[in-house]
Amino acid sequence: MKSPKFILFTVMLYLSCTAGTNKTTTSDSAENTNDLATGTDPLPAWNDGPLKQAVVNYVINATEDANAGFIPVNDRIAVFDNDGTLWSEQPLYFQFFYSFDKIREMAPQHPEWKTKEPFKSILAGDIKSALASGEKGLMSIMGATFSGMTGDAFESSVEQWADTAKHPTTKKKYTEMIYQPMLELLQYLRANGFQTFIVSGGDIDFMRAWTEKLYGIPPQQVIGSSFKVKYDSTGIERLPEFSFLNDGPGKPVGIYRHIGKKPVFAAGNSDGDYQMLQFTGTNTLPHMEIIVHHTDSIREWAYDRGSPIGKLEKGLDDAPKYGWVLIDMKRDWKQIYPFNK
Amino acid sequence: MKSPKFILFTVMLYLSCTAGTNKTTTSDSAENTNDLATGTDPLPAWNDGPLKQAVVNYVINATEDANAGFIPVNDRIAVFDNDGTLWSEQPLYFQFFYSFDKIREMAPQHPEWKTKEPFKSILAGDIKSALASGEKGLMSIMGATFSGMTGDAFESSVEQWADTAKHPTTKKKYTEMIYQPMLELLQYLRANGFQTFIVSGGDIDFMRAWTEKLYGIPPQQVIGSSFKVKYDSTGIERLPEFSFLNDGPGKPVGIYRHIGKKPVFAAGNSDGDYQMLQFTGTNTLPHMEIIVHHTDSIREWAYDRGSPIGKLEKGLDDAPKYGWVLIDMKRDWKQIYPFNK
């Protein structure tokens, strides 16, 4: 990327050219996108246009030594939010569905839950009341289902859930509700020497149980919120005490702590990603920041300002100022999930 | 490695065969070591013998698919302590010399240090008295020199120090006092698909400023103790509050938090590495744990039980029980530092 302003300009141009249609594809831009070294389109689930072209140009420039956009391979660090950026997050972050499923599973061993909130509401299938218990209630749900066991036991439990559990409205497995265009982008970046990391507000170990299988991202490249753990000679024990919130200003902290290097590429979808995008934007190397804007109420969900999950407000307001690229899911993505073929 | 007992047996055999000599090299073992796929010795700074052969066998078996010792490439995680394992640590952990140098440098801006311990003693060149100030004193030294600045400023400061500062007794740069045999081992493991990590009690960001240049280990593969940091829109600020001690039982915790996977290979040198070796030893995949035993008072330093720095006592006692391989620096290393040619 030559400059954030250049990206912003091409995106604004695209918006004005394509207003009112979802399928505007000039033969020019299609040619450009396909005219890569390999001769094949690296991002087939993305609609052609200046936005896709800007991403492809950024990657091509990053790898060409003589180019002003060149990035040394060790500095090609790309960070991705997870909920709402790599997979869906509605009507509620999927890790809460894991907790609810576990509470139902564990209920026979906890007769006291029949009368104790928020467990009582969860067991009665009244998720709304359970969530109304606020932060304290949510932390007690998380504490009961994310801690008090060994690291190995938690990993196995999440793995088994990921292989089987299904989403309440789509009836698809949660692990099928990942975004095909983002899978392609991860793969495309890696094929060009980028290291891809997840930087999410979700629990670090919850994600690590399946990110390698789903996204090709190994555990050591996953950063998230965490519970305290301790070691004794038998292994790692998960403690019922929250340790680190990897969200908002916590994301640059998590990046500094785990990666120790400023990213050149960042993708997010909500105001929880604001500081991560801002931090990436201060890189002196060529950098790119993108926001997945949920605009497709038919194929996925449409939400931004005022949404209780994945609120995007500050990010929408300040994207032009920072040169952040807004991906309009409805307009820019040909396909949403891998099963939408 | 077929079993820890097998390693232990070969090492004990070696010890009994080579007692009283530093140069015992049978033509058999030399042939075995050199008879690798590449035809060249991957560990030339190691004296030939069963110990070196055991390491080479472990690596060869790990990479050969049909072998019982095979390890899938994603599971080839190798962890290394730093102080006393990859570089020297006497008469004091080198990061304290960084602090002392910085205190002298910063003294003109801190007239109060002339009368305040432990700063007063450091400025007077009386390190013994400074250290006698105990944990509280050491933390005030660390706080003054490892925090209260941006992440970028700290990194530049350490980089500059690493390029120039010299050790009080060897008069060599600290960054020259790295172990040639361990550099070869890191390189050999990486050439065979292992990912090499540092897991040290030292400050994570202090190490990250030079580990890539010295060891080929990038910042995201360095785990260490840490100070708290915060983010504001201008960047990362280092706070004068200690956050995590990555030593002893903290090492498996640091590994779980940063890597999220149990290592198959671990190298340490002191009782601070005990739990890391023990944790690695519970891997169900073929695993190897080694201890660098400081036995060479001529070429380096000789110390173990009762040493204030790098005490090795529990590890020496329990190495046979766990099958940990003891490297006798005097006997097993042909060369210590890269400059000892």
Tens-place pLDDT, residues A107-141? 999 999 999 999 999 999 998 898 888 888 888 99
Residue B193 distance to chain A (closest CA, Å): 15
DSSP codes, A261-308 = S--SEEEE-SGGGHHHHHHHTT-SS--EEEEEE-B-TTTS-B-BTB-S
Closest CA to B273 of B223, B215, B315: B315
pLDDT of residue B215: 98
Q: What is the Cα–Cα distance from B310 to B176, expressed in whole angstroms?
A: 20
Range in A94-98, A130-134, A166-170, B328-332 with the lowest mean pLDDT: A130-134
B282/A220 Cβ within 8 A:
no
Mutation target to probe the A interface, by most A beta carbons within 10 A, among B220, B230, B246 is B220
DSSP codes, A269-281 = -SGGGHHHHHHHT
Q: What's the average model confidence in pLDDT over A283-312?
A: 97
Q: State ipTM.
A: 0.88
Q: What is the Cα–Cα distance from B98 to B88, expressed in whole angstroms?
A: 14
Closest CA to A85 of A293, A265, A300, A326: A293
Q: Tell me what the pLDDT averaged over chain A comes to.
A: 89
* A238 exposure class (CB count in 10 Å sphere: 0-12, 13-18, 19+): buried
Contacts of A231 in chain B (CB under 8 A): 249-253, 256, 275, 279
Percent of chain A clearing pLDDT 90 (strictly above): 83
Q: What is the Cα–Cα distance from A220 to B218, expressed in whole angstroms?
A: 13
pLDDT band at B234 (very low <50, low <70, confident <90, very high): confident
Name residue, tokens 């409805």: A330
Using CA atoms, how far residue B269 sits from B276, B291, B322, in Å, is: 11, 5, 15
DSSP codes, B256-319 = HHHT-S--SEEEE-SGGGHHHHHHHTT-SS--EEEEEE-B-TTTS-B-BTB-SSS--SHHHHHH
CA angle, residues A327, A290, B222, in degrees to nearest 5: 145
* B299 exposure class (CB count in 10 Å sphere: 0-12, 13-18, 19+): middle
Which residues of B make CB contacts under 8 Å with A? Answer: 74, 77, 151, 195, 204-205, 208, 212, 218-222, 226, 229-233, 235-236, 249-253, 256-261, 275, 278-279, 282
- Residue A197 φ/ψ, nearest 5 degrees: -120, 150
Burial A121-155, CB ≥16 within 10 A → b, else e: bbbeeebeebbebeeebeebbbbbbbbeeebeebb
Number of other residues whose CB lies within 10 A of the CB of residue A303: 21
Q: Retrieve residue B272's tokens.
A: 């601070």
**Longest Cα pair distance anywhere in chain A, in angstroms?**
68
Which element (helix H / strand E) includes A27?
A: helix A27-34
Q: Retrieve residue B179's tokens.
A: 């172990």
Burial B37-72, CB ≥16 within 10 A → b, else e: eeeebbbebbbbbbbbbbbbbbbebbbeeeeebebe
Q: Strand pairing partners for A139?
A: none
Q: Strand pairing partners for B328?
A: B293
Residue B12 pLDDT greater than 70, yes or no: no
Burial B105-124, CB ≥16 within 10 A → b, else e: eeeeeeeebeeeebbbbbbe
Residue in B212, B222, B256 closest to A229 by CB: B256
Spell out the residues 6+ positions from residue B165 whose beta carbon is closer than 8 angstroms to its own: B97, B98, B101, B173, B174
Q: What's the average model confidence in pLDDT over B103-119?
A: 96
Spell out the residues 6+ positions from residue B9 whose beta carbon is closer than 8 angstroms to its own: none
Query: B46: which DSSP letter?
Result: B
Q: What is the pLDDT of residues A6-53, one digit of tens each?
A: 333 333 323 332 333 333 333 333 333 444 445 699 999 999 999 999
Q: Strand pairing partners for A169?
A: none
Residue A49 distance to chain B (closest CA, Å): 33
Q: What is the Cα–Cα distance from A43 to A183, expressed in whole angstroms?
A: 9
Omega cis (within 30) before A72: no
| More confident site: A6 or A211 | A211
Spell out the residues 6+ positions from residue A187 whose beta carbon is closer than 8 angstroms to its own: A42, A216
- Three-state DSSP class for B92? coil
Percent of chain B clearing pLDDT 70 (strictly above): 89
Closest CA to B46 of B325, B327, B303: B327
